[in-house]
Amino acid sequence: MSEPFIRVEHVKKYFDAGNKKCVKALDDVSLEVYRGEILGIVGESGCGKSTLGRCIMRLTDITEGKIIVDGKDIFSLNSKDMKEMRRKSQMVFQNPYSSFNPKHTIGRSLTEVAKLFGMTNEEAKADISNLLELISLDESVLSRRPGELSGGQLQRLAIARALITKPVFILADEPVSALDVSVQAQILNLIFDLKQQFDQTMMFISHDLPVVEHICDRIVVMYLGAIMEMGSTDDIFSDTRHPYTKALIASKPRSAPDEPVPVVELKGDLPNAMEMPEGCRFHTRCPHCIPGKCDAAAPLLKEVSPGHFCACYYRQEKNL
Ligand SMILES: Nc1ncnc2c1ncn2[C@@H]1O[C@H](COP(=O)(O)OP(=O)(O)OP(=O)(O)O)[C@@H](O)[C@H]1O
Ligand SMILES: [Mg+2]
């Protein structure tokens, strides 16, 4: 595999919740994003996906650990390196309507980014014209305002805007979850094209495992601030190890009414983030919980086959 562009090393991000309590949004998370790959981050609401993204983009500080981007620790950059990091790493957000200034035309919003990163008017014009072709939108969108465009069109434009600075890395946080299912497929295809054409490095955050299946090279499954399983998309879907990943896959929405209902169901609700269960954080909902073990100490993330990691005593004991 190629050199990692991003290295997240034992990162903790705790939020103070008052009353001497804290939310462990990230609790010792380590992972790599390799050049040219799309890494999917999945897990239920509140498991820390966006927090991980925000830490990687240095939009927030971290409690402990290190984040190395392109060989440099992002929390000790000088202002020149910081500007270069902002150019190299771009973001696409969930809601395309709130990611553009509603009062500005699309042309103005795109040109502003180009100029911020040192392009002349001519360069910006040529670049934007190429990008519009890439996202299959007509130049006429440049004179429109966000309110006059559809969510799908705006999300294409948000992707185009992210590409203006020729980033090495794009973080897409739930980029399709606010869109209609039919439009979701178009955006996913566009993202897939970027990877095919430009070898674009990306992190794709989603609560929906099936959404990431077709575009991601590797997938990280998170639960309450920690990684439960991580591996190639094929490992995750064809050699699923963690009971939580199994449950996520089984909860895949049925595409036809006569498709069988998923067999694995999770007991109970997601625990309160401020009261993390002792031991394995998933044990309170796990169908395979081993009393005295899973509720006593957290299992380590172990490599179960090359590049495939899982944190689960049941799997380790049964050697499944
Ligand atoms: N600024 C903050 N202050 C306090 N707690 C926060 C803050 N940001 C996030 N959290 C908490 O950290 C945990 C992780 O939140 P995060 O937004 O990263 O989850 P997520 O996986 O992105 O969820 P979703 O799928 O709903 O977007 C949650 O318990 C959340 O309430
Ligand atoms: Mg989120």
Secondary structure string (H, E, C) spanning the chain: CCCEEEEEEEEEEEEECCCCCEEEEEEEEEEEEECCCEEEEECCCCCCHHHHHHHHCCCCCCCEEEEEECCEEHHHCCHHHHHHHHHHEEEECCCCCCCCCCCCCHHHHHHHHHHHCCCCHHHHHHHHHHHHHHCCCCHHHHHCCHHHCCHHHHHHHHHHHHHCCCCCEEEEECCCCCCCHHHHHHHHHHHHHHHHHHCCEEEEEECCHHHHHCCCCEEEEEECCEEEEEEEHHHHHHCCCCHHHHHHHHCCCCCCCCCCCCCCCCCCCCCCCCCCCCCCCCHHHCCCCCCCCCCCCCCCCEEEECCEEECCHHHHHHCC
pLDDT of residue 59: 95
pLDDT of residue 112: 94
**pLDDT class for 36, splitting at 50, 70, 90?**
very high
**pLDDT class for 264, splitting at 50, 70, 90?**
low
Domain that holds residue 90: 4-318
Segment 190-208 shows an average pLDDT of 92
What would the pLDDT profile of 43-80 be if each residue is shown by its tens digit? 998 999 999 999 999 999 999 999 999 999 999 999 99
Segment 153-180 shows an average pLDDT of 93
CATH number assigned to the domain comprising residue 200: 3.40.50.300
Q: Tell me the pLDDT of the chain averaged across its residues.
A: 91
Model confidence at 265: pLDDT above 70: no
Ligand having the closest approach to the CA of 14:
1
- In this structure, the chain runs to a length of 320
* Ligand 1 centre distance from Cα of residue 173 (Å): 13
How many domains does the chain divide into?
1
Segment 181-202 shows an average pLDDT of 90
Q: Which of 8, 26, 51 for a ligand 1 pocket mutation test, highest count of atoms within 8 Å of Cβ? A: 51
Q: What does pTM read for this prediction? A: 0.93
Segment 179-192 shows an average pLDDT of 89
* Ligand 1 centre distance from Cα of residue 42 (Å): 14
Ligand 1 atom closest to the Cα of residue 54 is: 18
Ligand 1 atom closest to the Cα of residue 50 is: 22
Residues at CB less than 6 angstroms from ligand 1:
15, 23, 25, 43, 45-51, 207, 273
Ligand having the closest approach to the CA of 47:
1
pLDDT of residue 97: 87
